[in-house]
Amino acid sequence: MPDELDVDPALAAAVLEIEGHVAGTGWDQPARLYSLVETARIVDREPALARAMGLDEAAAAGSLTPVEQDQLRPDQPLEQVLETISWPDGVSGCAAVVERLVLPPDADGQVPDDAVEAERFAREHPGRHEVRIVAGATRAGSTYCALRLRAHDDDQSVVAGVDLVPALLQLLRVTLEEDQE
């Protein structure tokens, strides 16, 4: 398991910034997708925008700025969207926000195979937890996640780490690969 020395501080700060922003909008939100751009790049190439955002060269050093992408289609799962996109060279990383139901481990063998039935099962399961996931990855290979449970909806209860949602992180990493076809 990766330890705290593996944390990319710029990525962690960007993921936590996104988590805090999204937390302010409440629950039951659609999935969101962000590009992560080196803040120094914005300061250098878009000085007027940087000034409007309150960014300067000192703030830009070693940081990433999240840029929210157009709203995703609500009828298409985030995982499917991620399989179809790639990022231009100027993007250093990406992050996704998604809300999911999480079931206790003892429910694993009980989940129906049918997707509609599985969703109903999860929504009705007494041990379910609603969770908001913010996951980020960089071209350099760093990852970071922040998780907030609806039942513990406060900033002090946010759980964070480098590999909390491996499958989602892998989907994000693939969008950053240069030799996609």
Residue 181: inside a domain, yes or no? no
Distance CA 164, CA 161 (A): 6
Within-domain flag for 31:
yes
pLDDT tens track for 40-73:
887 777 778 777 777 666 666 688 999 999 878 8
Residue 157 lies in a domain: yes
Average pLDDT over residues 83-94: 93
pLDDT at 107 (0 to 100): 82
Identify the band that residue 179 occupies on the pLDDT scale cut at 50, 70 and 90.
low
Q: How far apart are CA 25 and CA 15, in angstroms?
A: 16
Q: What percentage of the chain reaches a pLDDT higher than 90?
A: 56
Band of the pLDDT at 4, cuts 50, 70, 90?
Answer: low
CA distance 10 to 21: 17
Instruction: Please state the φ and ψ torsions of residue 51, each to the nearest 5 degrees.
Output: -60, -40
Taking 3-state DSSP, the helix, strand and coil percentages for the chain, each rounded to the nearest 5, stand at: 40, 25, 35
> Of the given ranges (27-31, 71-75, 98-102), which has the lowest mean pLDDT?
71-75
Question: What residues contact residue 90 under an 8 Å CB cut-off, 6+ apart?
Answer: 37, 41
Residue 26 falls inside a structural domain: yes
The whole domain housing 118 covers 4-175
Contact (CB, 8 A) for 175 and 145 = no
Q: How far apart are CA 137 and CA 175, in angstroms?
A: 10
In a domain, 139, yes or no: yes
Q: Is 180 contained in some domain?
A: no
Residues 121-145, mean pLDDT to the nearest whole number? 93
Specify the higher pLDDT residue, 6 or 173: 173
pTM above 0.75, yes or no: yes
**Mean pLDDT (whole number) for 122-140:** 92
Could you give the number of structural domains in the chain?
A: 1
Measured between alpha carbons, how far is 131 from 112 in angstroms, rounded to an integer?
Answer: 21
